[in-house]
């Protein structure tokens, strides 16, 4: 009964620090929406399956060295290569749930210790990508994240980096034009967080035709 008739789908992005539970929540959300009769696709960035994604994967696993600008642009290119299919799905009434997007892109590059990439510079390649109708920011303290198991072996998985990432995320959220951001307390149980997420997502899906066509990031 809740199947979209001829309206467009919604673009819902899930962002947050490491181990905030983004991937777990995206999976639960996609499944729940499907069970409710909605058409949904789950997309995650980086998408390590494409040729660009494989370069990113090698870099993250420490198997290649790349200039900071270069890897930054690869992360962005990895979103651009998916942009058309996201737009098509949205136009066809499929809602797209995205695990990490442009906010991660800008923040992780700008947080790097000895890089001189500003947040403004890092945002520029994102301009023109499909703009989320809703961005859920899963907020978690560094202490709670630490309780969810130690860091993996990938680049960026260390305390200093995580602290900078957190500060930069918070500075982005406070920008007045970022009205699509909804902060979720991700320190609760998996089930509670899933419940808190569902409501704003359903609200967004209901209102998406009032927003008009999918917008572009500016």
Residues that bind ligand Z5A (CB under 6 A): 16, 18-24, 45-46, 60, 75, 100, 104-105, 108, 148-149, 154, 156-157, 189-190, 193
Residue 192's SS3 state is helix
- Nearer of residues 70 and 92 to ligand Z5A, judged by Cβ: 70
CB 140 within 8 A of CB 17: yes
Is there binding between residue 24 and Mg ion (CB under 5 A)? no
The single residue among 23, 34, 39, 50 that binds Mg ion, judged by CB under 5 A, is 23
Secondary structure (3-state) at 181 = strand
Q: Which is nearer to ligand Z5A, 38 or 72 (CB)?
A: 72
Q: Which of these, 104, 114, 123, lies nearest to 68 by C-alpha position?
A: 114
With CA atoms as reference, report the closest residue to 168 among 127, 193, 200, 137.
Answer: 137
If contact means CB under 5 to 8 A according to the sort of partner, which of Mg ion, ligand Z5A, none does residue 218 touch?
none
Shortest spacing between CB 117 and ligand Z5A, in angstroms = 11
Q: Which is nearer to ligand Z5A, 22 or 166 (CB)?
A: 22
Specify the residue, 18 or 89, whose C-beta has the smaller distance to ligand Z5A. Answer: 18
Q: ω into residue 46 within 30 of 0, thus cis?
A: yes
Q: Which does 19 bind (CB under 5 to 8 A by kind): ligand Z5A, Mg ion, none?
A: ligand Z5A
Span from 21-29, 32-40, 117-125, 172-180 in contact with Mg ion (CB under 5 A):
21-29
Determine the number of helices (DSSP H) and then strands (DSSP E) in the chain. 8, 5
CA distance 186 to 137: 9
CB 205 within 8 A of CB 97: no
Per DSSP, 126 falls in state G
Q: Min. distance of Cβ 9 from ligand Z5A in angstroms?
A: 21
Please identify, using beta-carbon distances, which residue of 152 and 213 lies nearer to Mg ion. 152
**Residues at the interface with Mg ion (CB under 5 A):** 22-23
């Amino acid at each position: 009964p809740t199947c979209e008739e001829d309206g467009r789908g919604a673009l819902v992005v899930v962002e947050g620090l490491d181990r905030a539970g983004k991937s777990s929540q995206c999976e639960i959300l996609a499944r729940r929406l499907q069970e409710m009769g909605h058409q949904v696709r789950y997309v995650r960035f980086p998408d390590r399956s494409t040729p660009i994604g494989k370069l990113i994967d090698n870099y993250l696993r420490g198997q290649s060295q790349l200039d900071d600008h270069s890897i930054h642009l690869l992360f962005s290119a990895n979103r651009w290569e998916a942009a058309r299919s996201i737009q098509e799905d949205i136009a066809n009434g499929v809602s797209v749930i995205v695990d990490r997007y442009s906010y991660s892109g800008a923040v992780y590059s700008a947080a790097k210790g000895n890089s001189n990439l500003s947040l403004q510079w890092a945002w520029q390649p994102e301009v023109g990508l499909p703009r989320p109708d809703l961005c859920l920011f899963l907020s978690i303290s560094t202490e709670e994240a630490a309780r969810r198991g130690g860091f993996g072996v990938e680049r960026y998985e260390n305390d200093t980096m995580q602290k900078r990432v957190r500060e930069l995320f918070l500075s982005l959220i406070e920008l007045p034009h970022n009205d699509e951001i909804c902060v979720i307390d991700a320190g609760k149980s998996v089930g509670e967080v899933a419940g808190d997420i569902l409501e704003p997502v359903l609200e967004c899906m209901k209102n998406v035709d009032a927003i008009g066509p999918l917008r572009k990031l500016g």
